[in-house]
């Protein structure tokens, strides 16, 4: 037992240093294998508690060090308590040990980081909401037809009529009962052979819920012999 092996008035640092040297270990080797900060190991063996973390963390370090030396951690902690005349437990005012790899940041940097983080969340939120409304518009609102040609009613002596346009929020487009082909942007084009006299051109679009929109053009074909 560690308590039986220690001499009267021997400090924890002296005790651990003696056991380490008996086993032929260097502090550098122990620090490398246990990942305990080398400066902490030196401070423990020198009984320099002013350069060590708060008790709750110090206890964990000493237990790890003790296990590496094959000592009973609880008995080693008794030496710490007895030779320093206090109970090594965490108190209300203990603070977390400082991270030696942490980079100090000014208040303005912290503020800007938090500001842009919140701004990014708001932007993402509005993008998601906007996309949802955009998708719902295809179901809620009726389709829209933009007819490029013919743009108005008129008379012509050309037998062929080019019909072109674009639809928005539409699933299908019909020229009377004939389905027109749509590209990925909703554009359509079709060439119609006119009959002599008045031709009524009806373009109809429907959405996924069956709501529809219509555009009608009256084209008078005058045949010239």
CATH of the domain at 152: 2.60.40.10
Q: What is the dihedral of CA 126, 128, 134, 137, to 10 degrees?
A: -100
* CB half-sphere exposure, 218, CA atoms < 13 A: 2
C-alpha 46/C-alpha 127 separation (Å) is: 61
96 in any annotated domain = no
Mean pLDDT (whole number) for 64-69: 91
97 in any annotated domain = no
* 72: β partners: none
The pLDDT of residue 146: 94
Residues 131 and 197 in one domain: no
Residues 136 and 158 in one domain: no
The pLDDT of residue 159: 92
Residues 33 and 69 in one domain: yes
> pTM (2 decimals)?
0.42
Residues 24 and 57 in one domain: yes
Is 182's pLDDT higher than 70?
yes
Question: Where is pLDDT greater, at 3 or 53?
Answer: 53
Question: How many domains does the structure of the chain reveal?
Answer: 3
pLDDT bracket for residue 136 (50, 70, 90): confident
Residues 163 and 201 in one domain: yes
C-alpha 91/C-alpha 50 separation (Å) is: 16
C-alpha 147/C-alpha 187 separation (Å) is: 10
Residues 114 and 156 in one domain: no
Residue 146 tokens, joined: 């933009």
Provide CB contacts within 8 A for 188, sequence distance 6+: 163, 164, 165, 166, 167, 173, 180, 181, 182
pLDDT above 70 covers a percentage of the chain that reads 84
Contact present, 85 and 52 (Cβ < 8 Å): no
Helix (H, G, I), strand (E, B) or coil at 149: strand
Residues 129 and 159 in one domain: no
The pLDDT of residue 139: 66
Please give the residue range of the domain that contains residue 153. Answer: 144-221
Helix (H, G, I), strand (E, B) or coil at 159: coil
Q: Mind listing the pLDDT tens digit for each residue in 142-171?
A: 899 999 999 999 999 999 999 999 999 888
CATH number for the domain that contains residue 28: 1.10.260.40
Residue 86 tokens, joined: 């206090």
94 in any annotated domain = no
The pLDDT of residue 90: 47
Give backbone dihedrals phi and psi of 155, rounded to 5 degrees, phi first.
-110, 150
Is 208's pLDDT higher than 70?
yes
95 in any annotated domain = no
Residues 24 and 65 in one domain: yes
Provide CB contacts within 8 A for 155, sequence distance 6+: 219, 220, 221, 222
């Amino acid at each position: 037992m560690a308590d039986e092996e220690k001499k009267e008035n021997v400090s924890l640092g002296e005790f651990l240093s003696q056991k380490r040297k008996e086993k032929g270990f260097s502090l550098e080797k122990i620090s490398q294998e246990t990942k305990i900060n080398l400066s902490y190991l030196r401070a423990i063996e020198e009984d320099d508690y002013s350069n060590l973390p708060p008790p709750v963390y110090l206890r964990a370090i000493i237990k790890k060090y003790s296990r590496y030396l094959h000592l009973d951690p609880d008995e080693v902690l008794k030496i710490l308590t007895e030779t320093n005349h206090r109970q090594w437990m965490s108190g209300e005012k203990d603070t977390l040990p400082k991270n030696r790899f942490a980079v100090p940041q000014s208040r303005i940097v912290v503020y800007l980081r938090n500001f842009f983080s919140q701004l990014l969340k708001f932007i993402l939120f509005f993008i998601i909401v906007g996309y949802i409304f955009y998708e719902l518009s295809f179901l809620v609102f009726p389709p829209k037809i933009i007819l490029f040609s013919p743009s108005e009613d008129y008379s012509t002596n050309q037998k062929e009529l080019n019909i072109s346009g674009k639809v928005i929020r539409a699933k299908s487009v019909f020229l009377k009962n004939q389905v027109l082909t749509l590209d990925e942007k909703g554009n359509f084009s079709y060439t119609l052979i006119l009959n002599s006299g008045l031709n009524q051109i009806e373009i109809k679009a429907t959405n996924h819920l069956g709501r529809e929109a219509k555009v009608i053009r009256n084209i008078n074909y005058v045949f010239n012999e």
